[in-house]
Amino acid sequence: MNPPCAHIIDDDEAIRDALQWLFKTRDVACATWPSAESFLDAVQPDWRGCAVLDIRMEGMSGLECFDALRARGNQLPVVFITGHGDVPMAVAALKKGAFDFIEKPFNDSDLVDVVMRALETDAVRQRADATRETVEARLALLTAREQEVMELILAGKFNKVIADELNISMRTVEAHRSKVFEKMEVRSAVELAQLVNLVRGRPAA
């Protein structure tokens, strides 16, 4: 798996070099890209780290690059750097989920701190994604009937009640329940609830 890396994307070579130098002095692994297009051409789904984007660039802008990343399902944290105060742009970017917005001139240490926090946030997200994918893979193994039974288990209902609601025998519920536990790799309904809640957010109140 790729190690985490801060991707510096700026059409200004001097800026790229300066940021690369700055990050290296703080032991932050980084790569530079002269344009949004070049980065998007190269970026792989399994890359970890963050992107540091100049918001105004020749060709594709920083915001367009951000939109393109999200459109392809890439969740790398993105830190914007801009030279000109532009409130609607900053607001739009943050509301779309940009990690942070840094205005020039900036304090070098502040930028590096933001980037390091972005890298850590990405590490946490990747671990959460791995867990979610595991759970979703297991959920995908369930037949339609097993899913129905599982939902009623998660609703806290007893087997007898589930049997009544699905108009099947209690033994059938037992059989499905057993299969659900086996496929989800749990040993109790509580374990099942905790596991499924990892990928569903909070259960409905």
Token pair for 23: 């990050």
Exactly one of 72, 96, 171, 187 binds its own copies (CB under 8 A); that residue is 187
Smallest CA-to-CA distance from 46 within 73, 80, 79 is with 73
Enter the DSSP assignment of 72. Answer: T
**Residue 42 interface partner, choices DNA, its own copies, none, CB cut-off 5-8 Å depending on type:** none
Token pair for 14: 């001097």
The answer to whether residue 86 forms part of the interface with its own copies (CB under 8 A) is yes
State which residue, 68 or 154, has the beta carbon closest to its own copies: 154
Stretch that binds its own copies, among 8-16, 39-47, 92-100, 164-172 (CB under 8 A): 92-100
Token pair for 21: 């130098």
* Residues of this chain that bind DNA (CB under 7 A): 143-146, 158-160, 166, 168-172, 174-179, 181, 188-189
Taking the complex as a whole, how short is the minimal distance between the CB of residue 114 and its own copies, in angstroms? 11
CB atoms within 10 A of CB 125: 14
State which residue, 1 or 205, has the beta carbon closest to its own copies: 205
The answer to whether residue 75 forms part of the interface with its own copies (CB under 8 A) is no
Q: In angstroms, what CA-CA distances link 77 with 13, 47, 49, 167, 186?
A: 23, 11, 7, 49, 33
Total chain residues near its own copies (CB under 8 A):
35
**Residue 176 interface partner, choices its own copies, DNA, none, CB cut-off 5-8 Å depending on type:** DNA
Task: Provide the β-strand partners of residue 6.
Answer: 30, 50
Smallest CA-to-CA distance from 62 within 92, 31, 42 is with 92
Taking the complex as a whole, how short is the minimal distance between the CB of residue 194 and DNA, in angstroms? 14
Residues 119, 196: Cα–Cα separation, whole Å: 27
Exactly one of 14, 87, 140, 144 binds its own copies (CB under 8 A); that residue is 87
